[in-house]
Amino acid sequence: MVQEPQNPQLKLDQICVKLGDTDVVNQVSFTLAEGDIGCLLGPSGCGKTTLLRTIAGFQAPSNGSVHIAGSVMATAKHQTSPEHRRVGMVFQDLALFPHMNVRKNVAFGMRGAKKAQINKRIDELLELVGLHTFANSYPHQLSGGQQQRVALIRAMAPRPPVLLLDEPFSSQDTERRVQLAHEVREILKHDGITAMLVTHDQYEAFAIADHIGVIQDGTLCQWDNAYDLYHKPQDRFVADFIGEGVFVCGNTLENNRIQTELGIIEGELSNRYEVGTQIDLLVRPDDILYDENSATRATVIAKDFRGADHLYTLRMPGSTRLLCLAPSHLNHDVGDQFGVRLKLDHLQIFEQQST
């Protein structure tokens, strides 16, 4: 779990937002320390962009408060205007000025500062992102990744207390999004910028963020680091949304044991469930090991080549479905059988949902 910083740079306290008569954000609270990168992650329409707009000042909360750099910026009764919050923004469409060269685009965010300060800051940022030789180029002369970096440093130029990024990599393919996320993280960390990103892409979130908030239907399900979201999900939605995995049916036995088609599993259930409770056990692909010496056999019903690995979809004799990552040189066809064994380092169980 993420510990709350003593003096957060960004704090949301019990934020609720209504659009008309509809509650789109419900009592969301989290904090972000200075220099940290956060991410709001969830499916389309879950409320994450509304939260970003509330932080920026484009949307008023119906309850709760927004704090930036120790100052209250918004409550249900008071709203500091966006321009007075000094929050930086990077939008999906980048919004670069086509008639301005790179240098003038970056300078635009520093209006009001002294010329010498502006020039020093621009030189520093162009050097940071490797665009010093493109200072006099125009946006149409740059690649998509270069335009991305220009939009980023323009927002960073005045050193905002918080930088907000609204799905800035959405126009890129998956591999490029993750690469850009790594690059942007390095740039933000080098400059000590506190940032909040919105995305629906979990791999992008993993690549850039220190802390990730998973949003469902306007509710913050879990605010945590990527490792704990994957291995220690706090509810079924997070378990299903993050990573890949399946739910294996089982029932609880005495002495902290679970009966499944994969055998009897022992773990600390903390007496949460009575003996005989029907449960679902979260099993990730990396929990299922390829083992030809195992007496437990499974049939390949689908395969996905991933270069170094195959992701096999398997079916047990009793119809339990599994996912298994195996080295790609162990090449099996659909219909083949091979041995598997379960190696669970994190026991995550949820009571079965009624159908």
pLDDT tens profile 234-277 = 999 999 999 999 999 999 888 888 999 988 888 766 557 888 89
Mean pLDDT over 223-241 rounds to 95
Mean pLDDT over 117-141 rounds to 94
User: What is the DSSP secondary structure assignment for residue 241, as one 8-state letter?
Assistant: H
CATH 2.40.100.20 matches 244-351: no
| DSSP symbols for 34-103 | TT-EEEEE--TTSSHHHHHHHHHTSS--SEEEEEETTEEEE-SS-B--HHHHT-EEE-TT----TTS-HH
- Please give the pLDDT value at position 111: 78
Nearest partner of 322 among 275, 277, 273, 286, judged by Cα:
286
Confidence grade of residue 2 (pLDDT, cut at 50, 70, 90): low
Residue 355 has pLDDT above 60, yes or no: no
Residue 349 has pLDDT above 80, yes or no: yes
Residue 176 has pLDDT above 90, yes or no: no
Confidence grade of residue 346 (pLDDT, cut at 50, 70, 90): confident
Maximal C-alpha separation, the chain = 75
Mean pLDDT of all residues in the chain? Answer: 91
First CA to last CA across the chain, in angstroms? 32
Mean pLDDT over 275-299 rounds to 93
* Residue 7 or residue 323, greater confidence: 323
Domain residue spans in the chain?
10-87+160-240, 244-351
Mean pLDDT over 139-164 rounds to 91
Residue 301 has pLDDT above 60, yes or no: yes
Mean pLDDT over 115-119 rounds to 92
Strand, coil or helix: 328: coil
* Residue 170 or residue 261, greater confidence: 261
- Please give the pLDDT value at position 235: 92
Q: Counting runs of H as helices and runs of E as strands, what totals does the chain give?
A: 9, 20
- Please give the pLDDT value at position 106: 93
pTM of this structure: 0.90
Confidence grade of residue 6 (pLDDT, cut at 50, 70, 90): confident
Return the sign of the alpha-carbon dihedral for residues 244, 250, 252, 254: negative
Q: Is 292 exposed, middle or buried (0-12, 13-18, 19+ CB in 10 A)?
A: exposed
- Please give the pLDDT value at position 18: 94
Mean pLDDT over 312-340 rounds to 94
pLDDT digits (tens, 9 = 90+) for 20-69: 889 999 999 999 999 999 999 999 999 999 999 999 999 999 999 999 99
10-87+160-240 fold: Rossmann fold (3.40.50)
